[in-house]
Chains A and B, each alone.
Chain A
Amino acid sequence: DIQMTQSPSTLSASIGDRVTMTCRASQSLSGWLAWFQQKPGKAPKLLIYKTSNLERGVPSRFSGSGSGTEFTLTISSLQPDDFATYYCQQYNGYSGTFGQGTKVEIK
């Protein structure tokens, strides 16, 4: 099974900061990598799919990049609504594995 590892586990930042978090896979993913945002008591919300494709309705301050086994989610200017936990996920047609999450906290 493919293992997903995110870093850092917690990230403290201020409004307006540029924020970057990383996701590493135990083997090459061929680009099938997604990012989700989750707030307490809510279902995960898809932000990015296929490494860099922005889901409809997601603000353009979110962007994804990477290849092979290393991927990045960047928030260009952190907004109050962005304080949440972020999960990366590798997926294919039949399954998916999530990372352990990066929690973005107010500094």
Chain B
Amino acid sequence: QVQLVQSGAEVKKPGASVKLSCKGSGYTFTSYGMHWVRQAPGQRPEWMGWINAGSGDTKYSEKFQGRVSLTRDTSATTAYMDLSSLTTEDTAVYYCVRIGDSSFHFQYWGQGTLVTVSS
């Protein structure tokens, strides 16, 4: 079965960077795109970016352009999300999300990684 297992919680100071991982299993990693979505406390989910796990092509939300970088390691079947210049407003749960088996809906979600930014 499809599984996305994300790395553990992080605590960062303002101005720092964070790199999160998302390991996919149970499917052909390079055949499906991966989104990253974050959700601040009490807020709606917010799309951050997408990576084609096969080609490595990316697309980013304008809100995060220049501050986020999505990469992947196909041999490790793992996707990564780098977010720089952190502020307290980046405190959120970050999810990786694989697209659907038959279409591009957001079908499979990782368990989420809590990133806390605090001085």
A and B found bound together: yes
Question: Which residues in A have some Cβ–Cβ distance to B below 8 Å?
Answer: 1, 32, 34, 36, 43-46, 49-50, 55, 87, 89, 91-101
- B112 interface neighbour in A43, A45, A93, A100, Cβ under 8 Å: A43
Contact A99 B44 (CB under 8 A): yes
CB distance from A64 to the nearest CB of B (A): 12
How many chain B residues touch A (CB < 8 A): the figure is: 22
How distant is the Cα of A95 from the Cα of B47 in the complex, in angstroms?
A: 7
- Is B27 interfacial (CB-CB < 8 Å)? no
The A-contacting residues of B in range 90-119, CB under 8 angstroms, are: 95, 100, 103-107, 109-112
Contact B104 A98 (CB under 8 A): no
Report the 4 A-B pairs with minimum CB-CB distance, sorted nearest first: A49-B105, A43-B109, A94-B59, A98-B44
- B104 interface neighbour in A46, A92, A99, Cβ under 8 Å: A92
Q: A98: which B residues are within 8 A, CB to CB? A: 44-47
How distant is the Cα of A62 from the Cα of B86 in the complex, in angstroms?
A: 39
Contact A94 B106 (CB under 8 A): no
